[in-house]
């Protein structure tokens, strides 16, 4: 298993500003994922971030709104840009493990409130 640390654990931000969430893993991993968990909703995949390549975004998520960096095999950041109250959510970093990357491990999440 992998130990994943996310920072910050929570934040309250003003609309129109941006927040960068950091994800640090205690081992080198190929596949990293960013999810969003809105109240009463399923965890939804935002994007897949592989080291050395551009992040791949899911339908409904765009790079201008959620830019992602993956500078090495243990670290990634997700920025939530030009925030609005609709961006209030929990954002989770995840790594894929196992031969098929299906055994995912998660950070504790970042609870974001936009006011």
Closest to another protein by CB, 54 vs 84, is 54
- For 8, half-sphere exposure in the C-beta direction (CA atoms, 13 angstrom radius) is 10
For the segment 51-90, give every residue that binds another protein (CB under 8 A). 58
What is the length of the chain? 115
User: Quick one: 112 exposed, middle or buried, by C-beta within 10 A (0-12, 13-18, 19+)?
Assistant: buried
Contact region for another protein (CB under 8 A) — 11-19, 30-38, 61-69, 76-84?
30-38
Residue choice 61, 81, 88, 105 for contact with another protein (CB under 8 A): 105
Q: How far apart, in whole angstroms, are the C-alpha atoms of residue 81 and residue 108?
A: 21
Residue choice 13, 43, 51, 61 for contact with another protein (CB under 8 A): 43
Contact 10, 110 (CB under 8 A): yes
Binding site for another protein (CB under 8 A): 4, 31, 33, 35, 40-45, 48, 58, 92, 96, 98-109, 111
């Amino acid at each position: 298993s992998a130990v994943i640390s996310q920072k910050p654990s929570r934040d309250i931000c003003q609309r129109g500003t941006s927040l960068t969430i950091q994800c640090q893993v205690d081992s080198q991993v190929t596949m990293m994922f960013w999810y969003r968990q809105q109240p009463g909703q399923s965890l939804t995949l935002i994007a897949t971030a592989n080291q050395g390549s551009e992040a791949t975004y899911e339908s409904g998520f765009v790079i201008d709104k959620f830019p992602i960096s993956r500078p090495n095999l243990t670290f990634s950041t997700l920025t939530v840009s030009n925030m609005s109250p609709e961006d209030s959510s929990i954002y989770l970093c995840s790594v894929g493990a196992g031969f098929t990357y299906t055994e995912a491990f998660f950070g504790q999440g970042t609870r974001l409130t936009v006011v």
